[in-house]
Amino acid sequence: MTTTVEADYLVVGAGAMGMAFTDALIDHADDVRVALVDRRHSVGGHWLEAYPFVRLHQASALYGVPSTLLGGGRVQHRGPEAGLQERATKSEICAYFERVLADRMLESGRVEFFPGCEYLGDHTFVSRVSGEQFSVPEHCRVVDAHYLAPRVPAEVPPPFEVDDDARVIPVNELAHLEEAPNRYVIAGSGKTATDAIVWLLGRGVDAGDITWVRPRDPWMVNRAAQQPLPEVFLGMVADIMESADDSESLEQLFLRLEEAGVMLRIDRSVMPTMAKAPTLGTWELELLRTVDDVVRLGHIRRAARGRLDFAGDSVAITDDALVVHCAGSGLMYRPLVPIWSPGAITLQPIRAGFPSFGGAIAGYVEATRDDDEVKNRLAPPSPYPDSMAAWARMIAVGGRNAAAFGAERDIAEWASTVATNPARIPPGTPRSTQLDSVLERLKAHTKTGTARLEQLSTAG
């Protein structure tokens, strides 16, 4: 037996993008019904499987759904990030999405949530618990909010062979150790690896007891430069455009951004090649620089007791060394596709690098426009970055996309009220000399800087 669910939209994936899309859609479209489906037990996407000590790498206000602020937009007054806006923990994020589901979506009477369900295609999905099968009508538009869903270490095996006697754990298990090893080996170059090292150092592990297998050195964004304040965030954008204007190469661009306080790298003697560009606090940078035992031999091919094998080389480690797998693929780098296609919507970022706001824009445009060609013109997708060239392309594409949807008066007015829009100037914001200076710099450099970013992205 198949149960028919009356819905106008079937949203597959209840992570940040799916939730933001649904929230904006029901807020601005009359009388639509949404079936929200996720294979996990609740809303929140990969946060449900994330390691216990994870926090948002950006300010809480820049994440979540358009109707409901995550956190209170509060400034931290204590600790190493005093003066910066708060960053939510895993438990805070999961609780936030549960409240949005209950208080906003289910309470509206227009959203039904189906947890623990797998989408089968052809407008059908099935419960992974009971086996019950569901279908939605043919006119129901399928919204793929899982196209770029991140993959985290807890859900994927290590991307290398593991001998039976080797000690290898996913990063999630760090918080559940019963006995400390003599050496930790952190495998990975990105945010998960940096979080793991900062967490270990913060709990008394000596930096000399950590080996960091860093296949590629990363560029990261200074968290202080990416705050949800117009003069700060737009000031960072102005720095990017001005630096691009004056750069002859990608390396020169990133070095100029480092000098401007936008970009950070762990080892100033090494030119990074990875630029997924999560934010990093300068206090975290100082801790990471205390780890001297860094292995740069590429990716681990095999972990054995007392040894790590790489392509053409091996490194000895202590027999009881604990290898911490932080090397999940994280962001997905699938080809960009039109967000709107016949019968389907494929959610992707729109403004550079902000998935929550991308889902919200798509939801608002879907609710307020009828023609898919118009929708795709107003809200084309923006890529996630991996390399320096891809980062330059993301900034250029995201900037052009912002100009496209920002040229529509209603979208611009709505976007100025949405906290997850990092570049917004909220209504009633008082003008200041600092903000006026930033806006003048943007006016002078955005057009030429964007063009130069596009050139650099193809030359890299």
Q: Are 309 and 251 in contact (CB under 8 A)?
A: no
**Cα three-residue angle 329-305-301, rounded to 5 degrees:** 35
State yes or no: pLDDT of 9 exceeds 70: yes
Question: Per-residue pLDDT tens for 51-77?
Answer: 999 999 999 999 999 999 999 889 999
For residue 323, the SS3 value is strand
For a pLDDT cut of 90, what percent of the chain falls above it?
93
Q: Which helix (H) or strand (E) holds 276?
A: none
pTM of the model: 0.96
Would the pLDDT of 245 be above 80? yes
pLDDT (0 to 100) of residue 174: 96
Q: What share of the chain is helix, strand, coil (3-state, %, to 5)?
A: 40, 20, 45
pLDDT in tens, 105-160: 999 999 999 999 999 999 999 999 999 999 999 999 999 999 998 878 888 889 99
Residue-level length of the chain: 460
Tens-digit pLDDT profile for residues 311-369 = 989 999 999 999 999 976 667 788 999 999 998 999 999 998 899 999 999 999 999 99
Which tokens belong to 449?
Answer: 């800087």
Place of tokens 């994440």: 63
Which is it for the CA torsion 118, 119, 120, 124, positive or negative?
positive
Q: What is the pLDDT of residues 46-56, one digit of tens each?
A: 999 999 999 99
Binned at pLDDT 50, 70 and 90, residue 219 comes out as: very high
In the 8-state DSSP scheme, what is residue 151? B
Q: What is the distance between the alpha carbons of residues 349 and 273, in angstroms, rounded to a whole number? A: 23
